[in-house]
Amino acid sequence: MSKSLKLYGGTAVGAAALLAVAFNFADRNVTPMPERADVMGEAPANPDLGFIAMARAASEPHGNYNLGRMALPEEIAAWDVDVRPDATGLPEGSGDVLTGEEVFIEQCAICHGDFAEGRGNWPKLAGGDGTLADKDPLKTVGSYWPYLSTVWDYVHRSMPFGAAQTLTADETYAITAYILYSNYLVEDDFVLSHENFLEVEMPNADGFIVDDREEAEAHFWNTEACMSDCKDSVEITMRAAVLDVTPEEEEEAAAEPAAAEEVEMAAAETEEAASAEPAAEETAALDAELVAAGEKLFRQCQACHQVGDGAKNRVGPHLNGVMGRTIGGIEDFRYSKTMAAMGEEGQVWDEESMAAFLADPRGYVKGTKMSYRGLKKEEDIAAMTEYLKSFSN
């Protein structure tokens, strides 16, 4: 017999002897488990139902399976922190816009931007006013959310990302106030508290309806579906103009432009070329290298400001023609009180005032809605100013 067979053979004999001793001990000393079919009944087809039945059995007279205990009232209260639209559940506290700006920049701006304008794929919290009927609406707190309680509740329970429920009630009030301010719903001196919470009216509060489709559309669901010859005739009643997929019944004639049209087009081109000459001279007066550098710097501003053709007001005003313009001079934009007052005094955006503002926005205009920290290098300030000048004529 080989050494390996001797070794394994001895091990097998020892294991068999140990099992025999264990069986005899269990047979003499362990009490058999009673049958509990009278309590649980037959095993349910769904295993989850078995766990539910066992959990219920823990509180019933016939047995306790040590699967936990009933939650205490104080434990339920600790989890019951939601806030309802009528302010039920709202704790006492308050927070102002300026404090909210500081907390927001520290806790929220990394994802949502300094002005609540969003970053990358992180959602925008401000803007979108009047866009809900657009093809691509921007749904933010200001444009879409119907209840302020949803903002407070979500921030308090789920934010900041990765550190949920670390904000105090006062910090949550302050952040909510700043989000309202970013949407131009309150002024910069506004203080939000549990006392005036319900006084804030959200723009889209009446934009939702009760979903009654189960009753209102029941007749669509209860009818037998038509599978053939459902209509006497099939006609095109609408055209998919945007997608351009509806076939045209009439062929369009591809006629060449008339001679008069060609003359008109040539005249227009001549006029355009003539008007471009002064613009070229104006562009030549600018420092091309500074303009290019300023264009790169402006990328950090374009989330709130637009320039160029079709520029519109967003979170911040458009900056076409800003150089030489009266401070706070766009009539349909809501400026901070300080900036509006500077405009009323006749102050304008020249190179000196623009440089001072870009270096320290909040220092130059107290209470400005723009929480941008500013440019620290003089060459960057010069480049940004030169870039803005290129859109000022």
CB 306 within 8 A of CB 314: yes
Count structural domains, the chain.
2
What are the φ/ψ torsions at residue 71 (nearest 5 degrees)?
A: -65, 140
Residues 265-298: tens digit of each pLDDT:
555 555 555 554 444 444 458 888 888 888 888 8
d(CA 393, CA 386): 12
Strand, coil or helix: 191: strand
- The verdict on residue 15 lying in a domain is no
Q: Per the domain annotation, does 380 fall within a domain?
A: yes
Express each pLDDT in 355-375 by its tens digit. Answer: 898 888 878 888 776 766 678
* Residue range of the domain that includes 303: 281-389
Query: Is 87 inside a domain boundary?
Result: no
Q: What is the per-residue pLDDT for 170? A: 97
Residues comprising the chain, all counted: 393
On whether the pTM is more than 0.75, the answer is no
pLDDT at 3 over 80: no
Give the pLDDT confidence score for residue 12 in this predicted structure: 54
Q: Is the pLDDT of residue 100 over 60?
A: yes
Q: H or E element: which one contains 95?
A: strand 94-96
Q: Report the pLDDT value the prediction gives residue 272, as an integer from 0 to 100.
A: 56
pLDDT recorded at residue 363:
82
pLDDT confidence of residue 56: 58
Residue finishing a domain among 173, 199, 225: 199
Domain-located, residue 206:
no
| Unique residue bearing structure tokens 């009266």 | 326
Q: Does residue 297 lie within any of the structural domains?
A: yes
Q: Which of 199, 229, 248 is the last residue of a domain?
A: 199
Cβ neighbors of 194 (< 8 A, separation 6 or more) are 87, 90, 91, 92, 93, 94, 173
* Whether pLDDT at 240 is above 60: yes
| 195 and 286 share one domain | no
Q: Three-state SS for 60?
A: coil
Q: CB-based burial of residue 174 (10 Å sphere; 0-12 exposed, 13-18 middle, 19+ buried)?
A: buried
DSSP string, 199-215: GPPPTTTTS-----HHH
How high is the pLDDT of residue 142?
94
Please, which pLDDT band fits residue 14 given cuts at 50, 70 and 90?
Answer: low
Per-residue model confidence (pLDDT) at position 172: 98
Q: Is 124 domain-assigned?
A: yes
CATH number at residue 119: 1.10.760.10
Q: What is the mean pLDDT of the chain?
A: 78
Residue 246 within any structural domain of the chain: no
pLDDT of residue 257: 45
Which band of pLDDT confidence, cut at 50, 70 and 90, is reported for residue 144?
A: very high
Asked if the structure places residue 256 within a domain, the reply is no
Specify the pLDDT at position 304. 75
311-332: per-residue pLDDT in tens?
Answer: 888 778 888 988 889 988 888 7
Structural domain ending residue among the three candidates 145, 179, 199: 199
Distance of alpha carbon 357 from alpha carbon 364, whole angstroms? 5
**Residue 244: per-residue pLDDT:** 56
pLDDT at 384: 87
